[in-house]
């Protein structure tokens, strides 16, 4: 929750930060890009470290480091310090995110895991909705530095609660070795991939740096895959790679997050550029997505228990696709109720997919690999939105306009939203590959890590 709040609050704080530190637009963008690249590059490695050294330790270190970096940003004298500390904050953010999912996997049996994940999803939704409002009020009254000061006591409280977390200790536990070469290769591939995608809105898909970046990612990915096949202790264990539920869930998240975030980007872009609305006002227009996501997550968990991952995921994907398609059809005369209903469909579908895919990924993985699986899931949650936004921004840059934008309805953004709806529809393929029945029982493998007790 603190990570989600940080990201949404920063968007509101950036204009004030730019004025105060006399920063360029590129420098301000790097306060977000630097964090995103760091966290995405290290999530899987951080999960593997948690599997080896204990997820409670990683969560504790991540939260304290996140708080220390926030305090440093609040005191930063220049934009260079802010960028560097944001990258450091991304490193610590990568430590704590897989640990939260892994601890849920260790603490809850499969039949109760969906509820715990629904609570987590709802908390993220609340943070995402509260971020622009809280950030806007704080920045307006107390300045942008206060945004980062407020994160320190919240993180300290979480660190204190982390010390109280206990998980069962197995009779025996073998620490998995960390393949440093594989970790380095994967980190470079993910960092380069996310950085290349983040640069697409500014450079375009056919620019030299973009093409070179994707070529380098393809080559290094092949090198990484070849190394993994030969490694005695691969960074992504074979049992995880061969798991159809895990792979299908990852592909499902990639398609749905890409389509939904790309659509929301296109809508937000049109509202702000077409109507001249500020980030806060544009965010209010999209509130139905977050509100329905928060309240729909527990219902999605109940549906998952009753109907199983396949039916629930297919239903959620279909709802999200219908929602994006409905937003695309909204015109200048669309009623407020129609706009709210369209955005509510998006939120309902997205919450359902999030709970189902996350529950399937975390629940299907052997407990001793809970960290690396949590890291993979969080990595997809970074790559999917980056991909969707890159596609949407690329289409916008090639002539898509905000014709038909109204204050109460989403913009008719040419072919962008239909393409995003089509991307969500692709998620129906992996959704249909998920298990048909209810989640299986908990794994009989060791369920706690050395150092957690």
Q: Domain for residue 284, yes or no?
A: yes
Both 382 and 262 in one domain: the answer is: yes
Cα–Cα distance list, 77 to 6, 12, 84, 149, 310 (Å): 20, 20, 12, 15, 52
Both 249 and 312 in one domain: the answer is: yes
Q: Domain for residue 103, yes or no?
A: yes
Residue corresponding to tokens 């999912």: 101
Both 231 and 241 in one domain: the answer is: no
Both 298 and 214 in one domain: the answer is: no
Spatial distance between the Cα atoms of 434 and 311, rounded to a whole number of angstroms: 9
Start-end of H helices in 330-415: 336-364, 370-397
Spatial distance between the Cα atoms of 154 and 75, rounded to a whole number of angstroms: 18
Phi, psi of 33 (to 5 degrees): -65, -40
Both 4 and 54 in one domain: the answer is: yes
Tokens of 393: 């921004």
Find the domain containing 192 and state its range.
177-236
The CA-based angle 340-254-158, given to 5 degrees, is 80
Start-end of H helices in 108-230: 110-142, 144-163, 180-203, 208-230
Q: Domain for residue 325, yes or no?
A: yes
From 221, 236, 251, give the residue that closes a domain.
Answer: 236
Both 229 and 245 in one domain: the answer is: no
CATH code of the domain containing 385: 1.20.1250.20
Both 227 and 311 in one domain: the answer is: no
Residue 183 zone, left/alpha/beta (φ > 0; ψ -120 to 50; rest): alpha
Both 231 and 377 in one domain: the answer is: no
Enter the pTM of the model.
0.79
Per-residue pLDDT of the chain (453 residues; tens, 9 = 90+): 666 666 666 766 777 888 888 888 778 878 888 888 898 889 888 888 888 888 888 888 999 999 999 999 999 999 999 999 999 999 998 888 888 887 877 777 766 777 778 887 777 777 766 666 676 677 777 888 888 888 888 888 888 888 776 665 544 455 667 788 988 999 999 999 988 988 887 788 888 999 999 999 999 999 999 998 888 888 888 888 888 988 999 999 999 999 998 888 888 766 666 656 565 666 677 788 888 888 888 898 889 888 889 999 999 999 999 999 998 887 655 567 787 888 899 999 999 999 999 888 887 777 777 788 888 888 998 888 888 888 887 776 543 333 333 333 334 456 888 999 999 999 999 999 998 876 544 443 433 333 333
Both 231 and 242 in one domain: the answer is: no
Tokens of 88: 């450091």
Both 251 and 384 in one domain: the answer is: yes
From 110, 134, 165, give the residue that closes a domain.
Answer: 165
Cα 97 versus chain centre, distance:
10
Q: Domain for residue 84, yes or no?
A: yes
Structural domains counted in the chain: 3
Q: Domain for residue 412, yes or no?
A: yes
Both 317 and 394 in one domain: the answer is: yes
Both 242 and 375 in one domain: the answer is: yes
Cα end-to-end distance, the chain, whole Å: 25
């Amino acid at each position: 929750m603190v990570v989600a709040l940080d990201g949404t609050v920063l968007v509101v704080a950036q204009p004030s930060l730019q004025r105060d530190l006399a920063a360029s637009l590129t420098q301000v963008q790097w306060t977000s890009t630097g964090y995103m690249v760091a966290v995405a590059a290290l999530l899987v490695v951080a999960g593997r470290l948690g599997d080896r050294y204990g997820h409670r330790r990683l969560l504790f270190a991540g939260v304290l480091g996140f708080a220390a970096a926030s305090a440093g940003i609040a005191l930063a004298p220049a934009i260079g310090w802010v960028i560097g500390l944001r990258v450091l904050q991304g490193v610590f953010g990568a430590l704590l995110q897989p640990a939260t999912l892994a601890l849920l996997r260790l603490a809850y049996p499969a039949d109760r895991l969906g509820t715990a994940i629904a609570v987590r999803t709802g908390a993220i939704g609340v943070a995402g909705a509260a971020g622009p409002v809280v950030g806007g009020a704080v920045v307006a009254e107390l300045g942008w530095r206060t945004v980062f000061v407020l994160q320190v006591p919240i993180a300290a409280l979480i660190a204190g609660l982390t010390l109280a977390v206990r998980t069962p200790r197995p009779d025996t536990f073998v620490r998995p070795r960390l393949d440093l070469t594989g970790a380095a290769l994967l980190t470079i591939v993910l960092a380069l991939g996310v950085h290349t995608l983040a640069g697409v809105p500014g450079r375009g898909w056919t620019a030299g740096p973009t093409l070179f970046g994707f070529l380098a990612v393809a080559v290094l990915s092949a090198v990484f895959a070849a190394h993994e096949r030969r490694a005695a202790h691969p960074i992504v264990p074979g049992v995880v790679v061969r798991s159809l539920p895990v792979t299908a869930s990852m592909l499902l998240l990639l398609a749905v997050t890409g389509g939904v975030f790309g659509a929301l980007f296109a809508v937000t872009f049109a509202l702000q550029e077409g109507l001249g609305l500020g980030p806060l006002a544009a965010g209010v227009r999209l509130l139905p997505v977050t509100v329905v996501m928060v309240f729909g997550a527990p219902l999605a968990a109940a549906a998952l228990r009753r109907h199983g991952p396949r039916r629930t995921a297919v239903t959620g994907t279909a709802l999200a696709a219908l929602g994006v398609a409905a937003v695309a059809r909204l015109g200048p005369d669309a009623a407020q109720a129609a706009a709210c209903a369209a955005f509510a469909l998006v939120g309902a579908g997205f919450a359902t997919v999030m709970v189902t895919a996350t529950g399937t990924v975390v629940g299907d993985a052997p407990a001793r690999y809970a960290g690396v699986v949590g890291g993979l899931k969080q990595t997809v949650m970074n790559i999917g939105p980056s991909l969707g936004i890159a596609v949407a921004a690329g289409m916008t840059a090639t002539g898509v306009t905000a014709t038909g934008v109204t204050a109460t309805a989403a913009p008719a953004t040419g072919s962008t939203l239909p393409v995003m709806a089509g991307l969500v529809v692709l998620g129906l393929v992996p959704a249909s590959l998920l298990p048909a029945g209810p989640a299986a029982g908990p794994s009989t493998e060791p369920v706690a890590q050395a150092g957690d007790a």
